[in-house]
Amino acid sequence: MYRRTILWRAAIALMALLITTSGSAQTDNRFEVSRQLDIFNALVKELELFYVDTVNMEQTVRRGIDAMLEGLDPYTEYIPEQEIDALRMLTTGEYAGVGAYIMRRPEGVIITELFENMPAATGGLRAGDVFLQIDNTDVRNESSERVSEMLKGVPNSKLKVQVQRPGAKKPLTVELTRKQVVVNQVVYYGLRSNNVGYIYLRGFTDRSAAEVKAALEDLKRNHNISALILDLRNNGGGILESATQIVNMFVPKGREVVSTKGKTPQWDRIYRTSIEPIDTVMPLAVIINGQSASSAEIVAGALQDLDRAVLVGQRSFGKGLVQAPRELPYNGNLKVTMSKYYIPSGRCIQQIDYSHRNPDGSARHIPDSLTTLFHTVNGRPVRDGGGITPDFTVDEPRPSALIYYLMQEPDILFDFVTNYVLKHPTIAPAETFAVTDADLADLKAYAAEKNFSYNRQSSKMLASLKEMARFEGYLADADTAAIQELEAHLTPNLDKDFARFGTEIKQLLSAEIVKRYYYERGELIQNLQNDPVLAKAVEVLSAPQLVAATLRPQ
């Protein structure tokens, strides 16, 4: 009964916080808050007392909380005590463990990726290894969440891991020492052609600015770069202060980078550059795409508004909502959207309107006709309401259905690469490695052996079309022939499609293989070899007159 009381109080306290935060201080709203809490409290008690089956109250209340928050926006969420470590990982990029990504498959929990120089990698584990025991506890039937908990622990504590390696006759047992696992946010930096420096930043934690600074200073001091590319593609954002600090490296002290405005004025803030910059004149390009969001958009948008950088790639995601953590009873946490952010021109780049929804409940996109025109420092026109639009748009090739399903099918590409690694102790460096035609043929044969299928959605839609046409009486004999011809076109042909998309498949396979030997850094280096967006950024920065003309006052 004590535990039920705790759950009721926690739920009531959370609901009070949510409603109070979203409501005003008016008297009638206070009454409505009290009324709704009374209803909620009575409802939970009645379920516990009279529902025909035993109610797991923790799960039931959690479902209610999640549904309530989901109706607001995708970013406001309740984080109970047992999930706080994951939140801390997002903000710091650190946790104590062995440094491996894992997942559950039919044969058990397997390692899918290792972190370079972390205990799992240095201890000899590999992607594809299946966990059998951890500290003499059988984990063959455990969930990936449970195995993850067992792998984590106090830094410098030891654990014994037994795994079954594909192709090995006997299990492998290794002893590992847990350590503070640090996920580097600057995955790779280096020199491109024409003395152009390159930095890839994966996210914004409290380490990001320091890592970017170290990379930038090394490129300037030891590589004599004449220009710089900051790659923010697929960067989902993170800590706002890190974004401000990175912008500060390229613009003078005292410049406004971003401001936040919410319902409560006392929470509004203006973030400015606070120290002297590293370089305010070196030509700078920022690469973005549709998955560049939040703090990544602050950096890209602020540097565009201040006419400090040219932007290359595709329009960014458009997340202009700011979340802040709020402590809750029983060590829980509420990550709540409290404001919107505005970059120096005054524009908010929020792409989706979560406050007004379509009849089906989906969020509305802001139509171009409702956007507002703003101007950069030099008077260049920019618009709000739709993410950040680059100065040079370069479309990335859309992957074929064959590539999509190869990436989604865990027992095809992943297992093929696992077998490849068993046969090849070493490979060429990431910069020069390339799979051969024979490797491509081996993958095709392996896929055929595993009955690999794709184009599933088009087949399902065609089946539905045939059923509806038959129901409505439109499927006459003549039409049947046309349907059969369409079916022939939509039926996957592995030989034909491997020949048609051979270059694309080779690039994917090369990156997956390189990742096993050289980790995420190597995978990125491999993918950069044939990157049209990066090539465009280098081309732009290699033409100083083009950069100057792009940023010239209007």
Task: Encode pLDDT of 363-379 as tens digits.
Answer: 667 777 788 999 999 99
| pLDDT tens digit sequence for 77-126 | 999 887 776 666 656 656 789 999 999 999 999 999 999 999 999 999 99
pLDDT of residue 24: 47
pLDDT of residue 82: 77
Instruction: Determine the Cα–Cα distance for residues 180 and 117; give it in Å rounded to an integer.
Output: 12
- For residue 105, the SS3 value is strand
Which of the two residues, 346 and 2, has the higher pLDDT score?
A: 346
Tell me the CA distances in angstroms from 314 to 48, 82, 268, one per residue in order: 52, 38, 30
HSE on the CB side for 332, CA within 13 Å? 20
What is the domain partition of the chain in residue ranges?
2-70, 94-182, 186-324+335-393, 401-455+493-534, 456-490
pLDDT of residue 94: 63
* DSSP codes of every residue in 526-538: HHHTT-HHHHHHH
| pLDDT tens digit sequence for 183-231 | 899 999 999 988 999 999 999 999 999 999 999 999 999 999 999 999 9
Instruction: Determine the Cα–Cα distance for residues 513 and 145; give it in Å rounded to an integer.
Output: 27
| pLDDT tens digit sequence for 448-488 | 999 887 766 777 777 777 777 777 777 665 466 777 777 77
Q: Tell me which CATH homologous superfamily contains domain 186-324+335-393.
A: 2-enoyl-CoA Hydratase; Chain A, domain 1 (3.90.226.10)
Please state, rounded to an integer, the average pLDDT across all residues of the chain. Answer: 89
Flag whether pLDDT at 6 surpasses 50.
no
Tell me the CA distances in angstroms from 86 to 61, 234, 315, 438, one per residue in order: 21, 20, 29, 42
**What's the average model confidence in pLDDT over 236-261?**
96
**What's the average model confidence in pLDDT over 120-142?**
96
pLDDT of residue 29: 82
Q: Which two tokens stand for residue 470?
A: 């038959």
pLDDT of residue 237: 94
pLDDT of residue 478: 47
pLDDT of residue 1: 47
Flag whether pLDDT at 141 surpasses 70.
yes
- Please tell me what DSSP assigns to residue 453: -
Q: Quickly count: other Cβ atoms within 10 Å of residue 180's Cβ.
A: 13
Q: Tell me which CATH homologous superfamily contains domain 94-182.
A: PDZ domain (2.30.42.10)
pTM of the full structure: 0.85
